[in-house]
Amino acid sequence: MIRNFFLGLFLLAATLCVLAQIPDKLPISPTYKGEVRRGADGRLIVLDKEEMIKARADGTSKPATMIVGSQEKITTITEAAKQAQDGEIIEIRPGDYRGQPAVWAQNNLVIRGAGGRAVMIADGKSAEGKAIWVVRGGNVRIENIEFRGARVPSGNGAGIRFERGHLVVNRCAFFDNEMGLLTANSPDMILEVSDSEFATAPHHEGQLHHLLYVGSIGRFVLSGSRFEQGYLGHLVKSRARENDVRYNLLVDGTEGRSSYELEFPNGGIAYVVGNVIGQSATTDNPVLVAYGAEGPRWADNALFFAHNTLLNDFHAGTFLKVWAEKFPGSIETWVINNLTVGFGDLNSPAQGRFEGNQTAQRRDLLYLGGLPLRLNTSSPFRGSVRIPGQARGVDLLPAAEFSFPAGSRSIRLSNSLAPGAFQ
């Protein structure tokens, strides 16, 4: 019996030795391609890898805690705003929501259109005489919502009136409002707008309706967004202390009659990189981009203007005007690798850098979305400019470009770096 025991131990050891020499036969780990989840309506949905990465980054992968719609328990936006609690994720079913103004005073809200876009139509009503939505929660994210027709007695009726905290607006639309999005004035506020559309300012003689008006807040970020069809007011106006404006299409269009396409009336720090900025033939102001027209509000003032494509359909004009004389100290201004198309002046700043800027004819450009934007592959301007470098630690080399109809896409730069917003 003892002999059989030792024989068993010997056979076990031999087997383990042989197995140790056999290569690992475990199946290869599968490549992560996405996830299957159950949506708010109970149906299964598939999110691919890129959608899941984005959802995890912005928090939208979490399920809704409140659903609003004509067939839901909560049927109106006004009631949803009254019942919402801090930390809610609110999904709004697709459709038109008429005359349902709202004040969102809760903190850490996500408010998103579910599936198709939810459309907020003012229909003669407003929240607090200010806007379709007033937002003053400490931290709010709004996605896939459209705002139309805001009118108030003061003439400043906004799609969204942002009054406190940090607001993120993504994939939203603002049409036919007296002010598309309007902010209060507080240096503690932050506004981020991405992949959104602003258009069709109302034609009210004697009133200035801006598509996006940012007050004296701490920080303003604008990316991948489209602006067109202004009227007397500006497409984008910002009094923020720090501005980062990248990869947008600010082109008034043939029916537009805006004043400035982009203005920083009180200076501040402004990074303007990789945008398409275009003025119509019917403009009331021949300047496309203006900086410092009303003098300083902030202690630190500088403009870094790189790799923009500037289109002027007017018979004359100024692509960029800086009111340096209104500032006690000089303004550091970098104007680098911009591409101008049409008549106008791009003047060298008194202090800073001015290099790599070129002027092209429309016949030398490829049309995208009906606009002359990308240089031909044989253009002599390709490879004619140098990498712009960094300004105060911020890269001025574009990493993306505007993507029609709204949004942006990452780009891979070649050795033949070109001026302008499109490589």
**Which two structure tokens, joined as six digits, stand for 283?**
């403009």
CA distance 232 to 240: 22
Q: Quote the pLDDT of residue 61.
A: 60
**What sign for the dihedral angle of Cα 361, 363, 368, 371?**
positive
Question: Please, where are the H alpha helices in 123-203?
Answer: none
* pTM assigned to the model: 0.85
Which residues partner with 311 through β-bridges? Answer: 278, 341
Domain boundaries, the chain: 44-356
Give 304-333 pLDDT, tens digit per residue. Answer: 999 999 999 998 899 999 999 999 988 999
Q: Residues, the chain, total?
A: 423
Q: Write out the DSSP string of 10-71.
A: HHHHHHHHHHHHSPP-PPPPPPP-EEEEE-TTS-EEEEEHHHHHHHHHHTTTSPPSEEESTT
CATH code 2.160.20.10 for 44-356: yes
Q: How far is CA 40 from CA 6, 107, 146, 262, 315, in A?
A: 64, 22, 20, 40, 54
Give 5-39 pLDDT, tens digit per residue. Answer: 444 444 444 443 433 443 333 333 334 344 444 34
Give 122-167 pLDDT, tens digit per residue. Answer: 999 999 999 999 999 989 999 999 999 999 999 999 999 999 999 9
Taking alpha carbons only, the member of 254, 215, 206 closest to residue 233 is 206
Single-letter residue type at 179: M
Strand 400-402 versus strand 408-410 pairing type: antiparallel
pLDDT over 80 (residue 270): yes
Helix (H) or strand (E) holding 213: strand 212-214
